[in-house]
């Protein structure tokens, strides 16, 4: 239930509030951390797919790809030596459900890189509880964008 100091754990109501904010906030990204195959079978509307393996170095993540995600997608500045997270976007991550380790792995990787914990949110219920509550899903777009 707790992924670390400063990382907020969200229930459905808090998560839905972030979903409502995505159309008007360019500093917010909802991330489906599941594999591309899982994502394509169905996801939460408004989510982009960034599979957990893309950020997890032990699973073969390419450091250049991680740097590109941080700078091009997440608003992090890189001067060639150091990351500047002062303009980093708020990321709301989810995966399959409370038992799944995909989004927690991404969150731990990001905090280890220096991403501010207060800009990381975890929807613990994931797709499992989203389905249980009968909430809307959409097919994931190829490429996860």
**Which pLDDT tens digit goes with each residue over 37-71?**
999 999 999 999 999 999 999 899 999 999 999 99
Tokens in use for 138? 């959409």
Q: Which runs of E-coded beta strand occur in 76-119?
A: 77-78, 83-84, 90-94
pTM of the model: 0.94
* Beta-carbon contacts of residue 63 (< 8 Å; ≥ 6 apart): 57
For residue 143 the two structure tokens come to 């490429």
- pLDDT tens-digit profile of 89-116? 999 999 999 999 999 999 999 999 999 9
**Three-point CA angle 83, 86, 91, nearest 5°:** 90
**Structural domains of the chain, ranges and CATH numbers in brackets:** 8-132 (3.40.250.10)
Does the pLDDT at position 124 exceed 80?
Answer: yes
Two tokens, residue 142: 């190829």
Whole-number Å distance between alpha carbons of 43 and 45: 6
Q: How many CA atoms lie within 13 A of 106 on its CB side?
A: 27
């Amino acid at each position: 239930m707790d992924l670390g100091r400063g990382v907020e754990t969200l229930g459905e109501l808090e998560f839905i509030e972030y979903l409502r904010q995505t159309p008007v906030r360019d500093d917010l990204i909802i991330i489906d951390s599941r594999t591309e195959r899982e994502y394509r079978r169905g996801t939460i509307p408004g989510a982009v797919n960034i599979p957990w393996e893309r950020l997890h170095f032990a699973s073969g993540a390419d450091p250049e790809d991680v740097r590109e995600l941080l700078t091009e997608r997440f608003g992090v500045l890189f001067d060639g030596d150091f990351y500047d997270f002062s303009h980093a976007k708020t990321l709301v991550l989810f995966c399959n459900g409370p038992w799944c380790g995909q989004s927690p792995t991404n969150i731990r990787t990001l905090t280890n890189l220096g991403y501010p914990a207060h800009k990381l949110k975890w929807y613990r219920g994931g797709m499992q509880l989203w389905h249980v509550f009968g909430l809307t899903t959409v097919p994931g777009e190829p490429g996860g964008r």
